């Protein structure tokens, strides 16, 4: 039975933070960190009718529900619920882990949204590194968003996606890129490295991003397409100030608030064995 509007509203209000902006019922919209509702039609095929789909690093489940909305026969959504199990540099402190744990609240956002939507998407706790066709099977369409950045070994993760993709299936990844290096070096594969105190690792330019996909045995179906992720109602608003403008991270956050987070998406297919 569909949930009453008031119950949905109450459950949305119980969570302090949402990662995704989801319209769970008419007029009941979660205050997400990002609002990807205009991005999904650019990135996902209009129809996924009959396809077996996988969403990796699902968080509140926006992409899983979008795939379901496009007619997927089955949607599996995987994530690591406990942020302590993410890839952290040893320089990280407990405070940030706690902030992320509070934001995640044991994956509660996905459960609330799935019930409100009457979704049949299946949530499984599994690291991208552990995706195994023996365990989860193979998929016709795989989406992984905003996760490569947070992985110590992004190539291994992409290899795992290839391993659970059908031979004629599609892997679609959308991830953070370095816009400056993309502009200055359109052909040379370069990345900036973070790895300091937070689970942020490599930020490639588009040339490096495409190279990462190929290095994992995936054949791009077209060039990587730049996209900006619009901030949602729960995104911090960063205003220009001396402190913000004089540090790199401040300038990045300011640009993300104004123009959206710079990312690129690319569709690929398992490369034929050589």
Ligand X SMILES: C[S@@+](CC[C@H](N)C(=O)[O-])C[C@H]1O[C@@H](n2cnc3c(N)ncnc32)[C@H](O)[C@@H]1O
Nearer to ligand X, 9 or 15 (CB): 15
Which residue sits closest to ligand X, CB atoms considered? 145
Measured CA to CA, the distance from residue 110 to residue 62 in angstroms comes to 8
Instruction: Give the shortest CB-83-to-ligand X separation in angstroms.
Output: 7
Nearer to ligand X, 5 or 81 (CB): 81
Structure tokens of 81?
């619920």
| Inter-CA distances, 217 with 139, 174, 184, 206, Å | 16, 17, 27, 17
CA 192 to chain centre: 20
Instruction: Give the shortest CB-78-to-ligand X separation in angstroms.
Output: 6
Q: What is the C-alpha end-to-end distance of the chain, expressed in Å? A: 52
- Give the H or E element holding residue 158: helix 154-163
Residues in the chain: 274
Nearer to ligand X, 11 or 104 (CB): 104
Structure tokens of 162?
């290839």
Measured CA to CA, the distance from residue 202 to residue 191 in angstroms comes to 6
User: Contact residues for ligand X (CB under 6 A)?
Assistant: 19, 56-59, 62-63, 78-80, 86, 127-129, 145-147, 150
Instruction: Give the shortest CB-27-to-ligand X separation in angstroms.
Output: 23
Nearer to ligand X, 181 or 201 (CB): 201
Nearer to ligand X, 151 or 208 (CB): 151
Measured CA to CA, the distance from residue 263 to residue 266 in angstroms comes to 10
Nearer to ligand X, 157 or 191 (CB): 157
* DSSP assignments along 173-225, one per residue: EEEE--HHHHHH-SSS--EEE--SSSS--EEE-HHHHHHHHHHTTEEESS--E
Structure tokens of 228?
């900006």
Nearer to ligand X, 57 or 230 (CB): 57
């Amino acid at each position: 039975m569909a949930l009453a509007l008031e119950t949905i509203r109450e459950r949305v209000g119980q969570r302090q933070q949402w990662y995704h902006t989801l319209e769970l019922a008419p007029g009941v919209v979660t205050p997400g960190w990002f609002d990807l509702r205009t991005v999904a039609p650019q990135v996902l095929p209009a129809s996924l009718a009959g396809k077996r789909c996988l969403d990796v690093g699902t968080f509140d489940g926006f992409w899983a529900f979008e795939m379901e909305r496009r007619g997927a026969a089955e949607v599996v959504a995987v994530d690591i619920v406990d942020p302590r199990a993410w890839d952290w540099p040893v320089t990280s402190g407990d405070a940030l882990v706690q902030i992320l744990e509070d934001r995640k609240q044991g994956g509660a956002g996905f459960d609330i949204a799935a019930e409100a939507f009457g979704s049949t998407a299946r949530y499984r706790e599994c690291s991208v590194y552990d995706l195994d066709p023996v365990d989860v099977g193979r998929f016709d369409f795989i989406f992984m968003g905003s996760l490569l950045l947070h992985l110590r070994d992004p190539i291994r993760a992409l290899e795992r996606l290839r391993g659970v993709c059908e031979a004629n299936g599609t892997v679609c990844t959308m991830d953070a890129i370095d816009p400056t290096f993309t502009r200055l070096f359109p052909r040379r594969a370069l990345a900036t490295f973070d790895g300091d105190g937070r689970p942020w690792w490599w930020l490639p330019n588009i040339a490096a991003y495409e190279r990462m996909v190929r290095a994992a045995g995936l054949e791009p179906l077209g060039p990587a397409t730049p996209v900006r992720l619009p901030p949602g109602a729960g995104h911090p608003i960063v205003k220009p100030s001396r402190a913000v403008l004089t540090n790199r991270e401040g300038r990045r956050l300011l640009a993300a608030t104004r123009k959206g987070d710079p990312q690129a998406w690319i569709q690929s297919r398992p490369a034929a064995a050589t």
